[in-house]
Every structure is written in C-alpha cells, then in structure tokens.
Amino acid sequence: MAELPTDLIPAVVLQVHVVLQFVDRLVEPLQHLLHLSAIMLPLLTVHRTDFPPENTMAHSDYVIDVGTENFTDQVIEASHDRPVVVDFWAPWCGPCRTLGPNLEQLAEDGGGDWILAKVNIDHNQPLAGRFGVRGIPAVKAFVDGEVVDEFTGALPKSQIQRWLQMFLPSEADERAKQGRQAEQKGELHDAERAYRQALDDDPNHATALMGMARINAERDDLDGVDQWMERVPPGDDGADSADFQQLWLKIRAADVDDVDHLQARIDDDTADLEARFELAVATAADERYEEALQQLLPIVEIDGHWRDELGRTTMLRIFKLLDDDEAVRQWQKRLGRAMY
C-alpha cells in the first residue's frame, strides 16, 4: 500500500475531525428521538386500544350507522318525514368521542323526534367529500333532503340542545301536520280542529293559516279564505306557495264579469286593462295559465304601473304554478322586455 505523503497528513486529519464532528451532531438528535419514541410508543398503544371497536356501539331506533350505500335512503329520503342529524366522526378523533355520547343521549331523549345518523369517515371518504367535511366532528342537520344547519367541534350538551330547537318541529308544527293529514283524507272537521290548535300555539303559523284558507275554499266561503290568507306573514314560505297563489286567483276570479263579455270588451278596446286582468284571473283560476299570461303581458306593456304593478305581480304568481321550467324562462324574458 502506498504511503501518504507527510505533507498531506495534517490536511487529512483536519478533514476526519470535521466529519466526526458532523456525525456527532447527527447522533445526538437521533438519540433523543429514540428516547422519546421509547416513552411515547406505550402511551400511543394504550390510547389506540382504548377506542371502541367498529359497529359495536349501543345504537337504537333513533341512533343508526349509515354509509355510502344507504345514505340516500336513511338520511336524504328519511329527512322528509323527520329531521336527521348526521355525525361525521372517526374512532381516532378525541373530540368525536366526547360529542358522540351527548348526541346519542339527546336522540334517545327525543324519542324519535329526530334521528341521529353516524358516519365513520374512515370508511366513507366519498360522503365526507360530498358534504364538504374539513374537520371532525362535523354535525349536519337534514330536513326535506337538504342541509339546514351544521356545526363543527364538540359543543357542550346545553348548546347542542339550543341548536336542535332551531329546526325540530314545534308543537304547532305537529298540530298543523295532523291537520294536513286529516284534510287530505277529506276529514275537514278534524283538520279544522287541528289547525286551530296549532294557531292557539302560534297565531302566525303559515301552514295552519293556509290550511284554514283551503278549508274555507272547500266550503265556498271566499271571504273566509281572504281573511285567513291576509294573516299569512309576508315573506313566509306559505305566502310563496302554489296553494297561496291558486287561492289568491280563485278569490279574484269570483267577482269577475262573464268571460265572453270580457273578451268582447277587449276586442272593442285593446287598452281595457281591467277587462284584461279579469279575463286573466278567470282563466288562471281554471288552470289555463298560458291564456292568462297572454292577457297580463299587454297590461305591463301598456301601463306597467297600473294598480301598483298588478299585471307584473300576477304574472309572477302564475310563474309559480307552471310545471314547465322552459315555459317559465320564456315568459320571464318576455316580461323583462315589456318592462324595459
């Protein structure tokens, strides 16, 4: 083996010294890491084995497990009958283990007023993505197939109770529901009693008010219909419903002139806006909506401000009754051009 020239020895020794110092700096953190691992590994093992096994939680008729395969039936469809609260969780999530028992106890206490559906995101990642779950526990309330409210994190039980009250049916809601069921069976006396009980609890309950209006319409008491409809709060879903629009048209059509006479008046004077409006509500009350719109559009074209824009607002009411979305879009375009 060739000998190292003596003049290079100091340089080599210096390089070896530098390398040893570098290795020493690496070894010290590794020793600390190994020491920390020796401490943490037993703790982690105990923590993981403390998780409840999958699908062994004590569920009931009011607390169910759901996944991708049955979410539509058990949550979306079921929420048309009663609210469904979905708890997106995972076994490794500490806050989930705090929140879960509180939700389950509240569901049991509710006695079927609402259903708790638990989704393990480890097994149902597509569902978590579909509903925008970014952190867990994530809790979402479904009513009529839609998410109506939600929260993330382990809220205290009292706060969850207040949250539930925002969408759970009230006593007045239950009475109104009973009234609607009786009305659909033709049991008008029972329906009226239930609606009045709902209104005793909530005088502005739109569903009960509309129910009373329909009952009066069945009895041909149009004055009564009008009185009940006037009590429906503006902006409420009840005031925007198809039922409301149909009853509104029926009331207005009750006092109109003979249809043939109205058409003769329009033939004599195309600017007879009163005749056009009466003919429109008469045909609309008979569910001939296209014919009604054909009379209302000229009212907007001739005088858009006539009787507080009655031509335009009546067209908007009829739009809510049309089943053909394309027809609605076409009429909306024609109305827009007439206004501007």
Q: CATH second-level architecture of 171-234?
A: Alpha Horseshoe (1.25)
Section 289-317 average pLDDT: 96
CA distances to 86, 174, 176, 236, 259 from 196, in Å:
34, 12, 9, 19, 37
Catalytic position from the list 93, 115, 249, 293: 93
122 has a pLDDT exceeding 60: yes
- Measure CA of the first residue to CA of the last residue in the chain; give whole Å: 102
CA distance 262 to 257: 6
Q: Where are the domains of the chain?
A: 14-49, 63-164, 171-234, 259-339
8 Å CB contact between 273 and 244: no
Is residue 93 annotated as part of the catalytic site, yes or no?
A: yes
Provide the CATH number for the domain formed by 63-164 in this structure: 3.40.30.10
The reply to whether 237 belongs to the active site is no
Which of 96, 139, 191, 296 is labelled catalytic? Answer: 96
Q: Secondary structure of the chain: what % helix, strand, coil (to 5)? A: 65, 10, 30
How far is Cα 25 from Cα 142, in angstroms, rounded to an integer? 57
Q: What does the pLDDT look like over 80-107, one tens digit per residue?
A: 989 999 999 999 999 999 999 999 999 9
- Identity (one letter) of the amino acid at 133? V
Q: Which CATH architecture has domain 259-339?
A: Alpha Horseshoe (1.25)
Q: pLDDT band for position 321 (50/70/90)?
A: very high
Q: Give pLDDT, residue 39.
A: 36
Q: List, in order, residues 6 or more apart from 115 with CB less than 8 Å away.
A: 62, 63, 64, 78, 82, 83, 84, 85, 107
**pLDDT of amino acid 34:** 44
Structure tokens at 203: 């005088």
Say what the pLDDT of residue 57 is.
46
Two domains, one topology: 63-164 and 259-339: no
